[in-house]
Amino acid sequence: MIYGGYCVLLGAYTHLNEGHVRMDAVYRHFSDRTKATVDFFAGLGGLVFLVLFFWVAARIAWESWVIREFSSRTAWEPPMYPFKTALAIAVLLFLLQHIVTLIRSFSVMTYKKNLFTKTEVDLIVKAVVD
């Protein structure tokens, strides 16, 4: 269960840094606006997947909390509901990151400029955290 949440968080981090695999042989020849259009429409499919993934993960976590689920695979019998909740939270964070990416793609697609650069978002986050 811990590994599942870890993998989802790493997927969100990779998504943030644009590290997922693309077909650069064709993609690199596109203009910024065309790239944003391709990213936006491809991202809609990812959005559907992440919404469904979050829905399922949240339901599983909720049911685990309701029955106070424990693992019966070890003598220690650790509670499972915190791990399942962590997975649902990780999927939610990935979903939020994906929505931000879609908004960025949409802004480049329609306004021909990115409304929020990564540096601006980093400054906003730093101001909120500090």
Q: Which long-range contacts (CB under 8 A, 24 or more apart) does 114-120 make?
A: none
Label residue 94 by pLDDT band (50, 70, 90). very high
pLDDT of 75 higher than 90: no
What's residue 54's pLDDT? 97
Q: What is the pTM of this model?
A: 0.80
- For the chain, what is the mean pLDDT? 86
Q: Are 99 and 110 in contact (CB under 8 A)?
A: no
* Segment holding 51, helix H or strand E: helix 32-67
Q: Sign of dihedral through CA atoms 32, 99, 125, 94?
A: negative
Which residues are 79's β-sheet partners?
70
